[in-house]
Structure 1
Amino acid sequence: MADEQLLSLRSSAQYKALGHPMRHRMVNLLRQRPATLGELTAALDSTKGTVGYHVRILREAGLVRLASTRQVRGGTEQRFELVNRGFQLDEETGARFLHDAALAEMSPVRPGDPGHTVLHHVWLTPEEARALAERVENYDHGQRLDPEQGTEAYGLLLSLYRADIPRLPPERPTT
Structure 2
Amino acid sequence: MRDEPSYLPPPEEALEIGAPEQFAALSHPLRQRLLFALGHRPATSSQLAAQLDAKKGNVAHHLKVLREAGLVHIAKTRQVRGGTEQYYQRTARRMVVAEPQAAGTAAMLAAVAQELDRSPVETHLTLRHLHLSPAKARELGETLARLVDEAEEDEAEGGAEDQPLHGVLVALYQQALPSGTTSSV
**TM-score, with normalisation over the residues of structure 2?**
0.71
- Pairing partner for 2:170 from 149, 157, 174: 157
**Structure 1 residues 96 and 37, CA, compared in 2 at 3 Å: closer, same or farther?**
closer
Structure 1 residue ranges without an equivalent (≥5): 170-175
Could you say which residue in structure 1 is the equivalent of 2:38? 30
Paired amino acid for 1:63: L
- Pairing partner for 2:145 from 123, 137, 140: 137
Give the alignment's Cα RMSD to 1 decimal: 3.2
When Rg is computed on C-alpha atoms for both structures, the one with the higher figure is 1
Give the 4+ runs in structure 1 shifted more than 6 A.
none
How many pairs were matched up?
Answer: 165
Could you say which residue in structure 2 is the equivalent of 1:116? 125
Report the secondary structure of 1:54's partner residue: helix
**Structure 1 residues 156 and 37, CA, compared in 2 at 3 Å: closer, same or farther?**
closer
**TM-score, with normalisation over the residues of structure 1?**
0.75
Q: Distance in 1 between matches of 2:21 and 2:142?
A: 29
Could you say which residue in structure 1 is the equivalent of 2:112? 105
Could you say which residue in structure 1 is the equivalent of 2:6? none
Paired amino acid for 1:122: H
Could you say which residue in structure 1 is the equivalent of 2:11? 3
Q: Distance in 2 between matches of 1:44 and 1:114?
A: 18
2:26/2:107 contact within 8 Å kept: no
Q: Distance in 2 between matches of 1:97 and 1:131?
A: 26
Residue 48 of structure 1: how far off its partner (Å):
2.4
Residue 5 of structure 1: how far off its partner (Å):
2.0
Could you say which residue in structure 1 is the equivalent of 2:61? 53
1:21/1:104 contact within 8 Å kept: yes
Could you say which residue in structure 2 is the equivalent of 1:172? none
Structure 2 residue ranges without an equivalent (≥5): 1-8
Report the secondary structure of 2:151's partner residue: coil
Task: State the Cα deviation string for residues 112-168 of structure 1 (Å, max 9, x = none).
Answer: 8342322222232x333333333333333525589855635343333142653879x
Report the secondary structure of 1:142's partner residue: helix
Task: State the Cα deviation string for residues 41-60 of structure 1 (Å, max 9, x = none).
Answer: 22122332221111110100
Between Structure 1 and Structure 2, the one with more helix by share is: 2
The more displaced of 42-51 and 77-86 is 42-51
